[in-house]
Amino acid sequence: MDLKSLIREIPDFPKPGILFRDITTLLQNPQGLRYTVDQLTSGFADHSVDYVVGAESRGFIFGAPIAYNLGVGFVPVRKPGRLPSAIHFIEYELEYRADRLEIHQDNLVPGSRVLIIDDLLATGGTASAMAQLIERAACELVGFGFVIELQDLQGRKLLPDVPVITLVQY
């Protein structure tokens, strides 16, 4: 399936000079959504995953059905201030701002095998921060799955040496 044909391009968003890859058009297409979830699921079916972790918010969209397909739990990684219990957190730098991610301390069993799912691999900042959260939770990262990879930004260079699957490359 040609997923690129289902991803809308919006110039100058969120600021001039940026070409935004909008996945809402992919999400509204039943065949495209099913194909995306199925491809990312099958890419990690042999990795003995215990949990899928997805970053707010688009990582939730893909991560939860992948966890369901794999028969494992889903754990959300949230933006600051949205989790009510004890958390692990990490602060990190993005291209044009600082950010912070949080995960409940009791959501992952130490020693578990964790798969990280998100919609986009760009500079690698968010994905790298999520990997560090998995490490803080004393778990093993088994891989990353992304719908889109912006190859020119070389985000893979920041990631640990685990399998990385991307379905669409720009």
What percent of the chain clears pLDDT 70, i.e. is strictly above it? 99
- pLDDT over 90 (residue 74): yes
Q: Which of 28-37, 50-59, 90-99, 105-114 has the lowest mean pLDDT?
A: 90-99
Give the number of domains in the chain: 1
DSSP 43-109: HTTTS--SEEEEETTHHHHHHHHHHHHHT-EEEEEB-TT---S-EEEEEEE-SSSEEEEEEETTSS-
Give residues with Cβ within 8 angstroms of 98, minimum separation 6.
Answer: 91, 92
For residue 139, tell me if it sits in a domain: yes
pLDDT, average across residues 128-148: 97
Instruction: Tell me the whole-structure pTM to 2 decimals.
Output: 0.95
Question: Looking at residue 94, what is its pLDDT?
Answer: 75
Q: How far is CA 141 from CA 50, 67, 72, 87, 130, in A?
A: 10, 15, 15, 19, 10
Of 34, 56, 58, 91, the catalytic one is 58
Question: Looking at residue 101, what is its pLDDT?
Answer: 96
Share the mean pLDDT of the chain.
Answer: 96
For residue 36, tell me if it sits in a domain: no
Structural domain harbouring 53:
47-169
Question: Looking at residue 97, what is its pLDDT?
Answer: 80
- pLDDT over 90 (residue 165): yes
Give residues with Cβ within 8 angstroms of 81, minimum separation 6.
Answer: none
Q: What is the dihedral of CA 39, 6, 159, 44, to 10 degrees?
A: -10
Residue 88's CB is within 10 A of a number of other CB atoms, namely: 20
- Residue 20, CB-side half-sphere exposure with 13 Å CA sphere: 11
Of 9, 56, 78, 95, the catalytic one is 95
Give residues with Cβ within 8 angstroms of 14, minimum separation 6.
Answer: 20
For residue 37, tell me if it sits in a domain: no
For residue 110, tell me if it sits in a domain: yes
Partner residues linked to 8 by β-bridges: 22
pLDDT, average across residues 42-70: 97
For residue 5, tell me if it sits in a domain: no
- Give catalytic status of residue 95 as yes or no: yes
Find the CATH number of the domain harbouring 141.
3.40.50.2020
pLDDT tens digit sequence for 8-24: 999 999 999 999 999 99
pLDDT tens digit sequence for 84-136: 999 999 999 877 788 999 999 999 999 999 999 999 999 999 999 999 999 99
- Which tokens is 66 given? 């992948």
For residue 26, tell me if it sits in a domain: no
